[in-house]
């Protein structure tokens, strides 16, 4: 199977050059639906990437974490990409274990949220957890926030926090 090569796009950006059936590298050509395709028939669908997010509830508080690459005052939910052949439920449990070293005692689907800025589909869960928090190498810090003090943000995983808080207030999980 031929490999994609890199070339320079119309704006000077690096972009993959897809091989054509004759072996010459051809740049992706736009189709009428806006997707890129090459002479070999390959179509770049650019589908959203599935990401799991955990509203981790531990000892009566929600845990917000700060990634080492984030600004000092920025905290968010534990998130991660699904791995090959992994269910979203297993993926969110794995992320909570990997990043916080906590054991999920349950997983409750909160909802699905498009995150167009990163071309992701967020699959958000409420994850009650037990154990002792130990941060992995990806995280710099964490905070415990009482659910009644938690305030949702207006993008990405913040929409899941909003919905979870509304359900909690209404008496549902």
pLDDT given for residue 35 in this prediction: 72
pLDDT above 80 for 55 = yes
Count CB-CB contacts under 10 A for residue 98.
15
- What mean pLDDT comes out for the span 19-26? 55
Lowest average pLDDT, out of 46-50, 53-57, 84-88, 125-129, goes to 46-50
Q: Distance between CA atoms of 6 and 173, rounded to whole angstroms?
A: 48
- Give the tokens for residue 19: 């091989």
87 backbone dihedrals φ, ψ, rounded to 5°? -80, 155
Write down the architecture of domain 49-169 according to CATH: Alpha-Beta Complex (3.90)
Which tens digit of pLDDT belongs to each residue from 65-100? 999 999 999 999 999 999 999 999 999 999 999 999
The label of the residue with tokens 């941060």 reads 135
pLDDT given for residue 173 in this prediction: 58
pLDDT given for residue 7 in this prediction: 45
76 backbone dihedrals φ, ψ, rounded to 5°? -160, -175
pLDDT above 50 for 12 = no
Which tens digit of pLDDT belongs to each residue from 101-155? 999 999 999 999 999 889 999 999 999 999 999 999 999 999 999 999 999 999 9
- What mean pLDDT comes out for the span 39-61? 89
Count CB-CB contacts under 10 A for residue 102.
23
Contact 158, 151 (CB under 8 A): no
Tell me the pLDDT band of 22, cut-offs 50, 70 and 90.
Answer: low
Domain spans, the chain? 5-44, 49-169
- What mean pLDDT comes out for the span 25-50? 75
- What mean pLDDT comes out for the span 36-63? 88
The label of the residue with tokens 């939910």 reads 77
Contact 28, 8 (CB under 8 A): no
Q: Distance between CA atoms of 79 and 88, rounded to whole angstroms?
A: 11
The label of the residue with tokens 């130990």 reads 134
Could you tell me which residues come within 8 angstroms of residue 50 by beta carbon, excluding any fewer than 6 positions away?
81, 82, 88, 120, 121, 123
pLDDT given for residue 46 in this prediction: 82
CA-to-CA separations, 40 to 5, 16, 43, in angstroms, rounded: 14, 14, 9
């Amino acid at each position: 199977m031929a490999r994609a090569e890199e070339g320079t796009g119309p704006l000077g950006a690096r972009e993959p050059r897809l091989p054509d059936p004759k072996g010459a590298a051809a740049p992706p050509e736009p189709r009428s639906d806006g997707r890129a395709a090459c002479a070999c028939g390959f179509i770049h669908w650019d589908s959203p990437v599935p990401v799991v997010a955990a509203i981790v509830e531990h000892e009566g508080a929600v845990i917000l974490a700060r990634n080492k690459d984030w600004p000092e005052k920025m905290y968010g939910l534990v998130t991660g990409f699904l791995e090959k052949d992994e269910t979203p439920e297993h993926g969110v449990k794995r992320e909570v274990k990997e990043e916080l070293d906590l054991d999920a005692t349950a997983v409750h689907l909160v909802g699905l949220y498009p995150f167009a800025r990163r071309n992701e589909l967020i699959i958000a869960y409420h994850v009650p957890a037990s154990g002792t928090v130990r941060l992995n190498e990806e995280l710099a810090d964490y905070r415990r926030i009482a659910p009644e003090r938690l305030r949702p943000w207006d993008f990405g995983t913040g929409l899941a926090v909003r919905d979870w808080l509304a359900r909690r207030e209404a008496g549902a999980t």
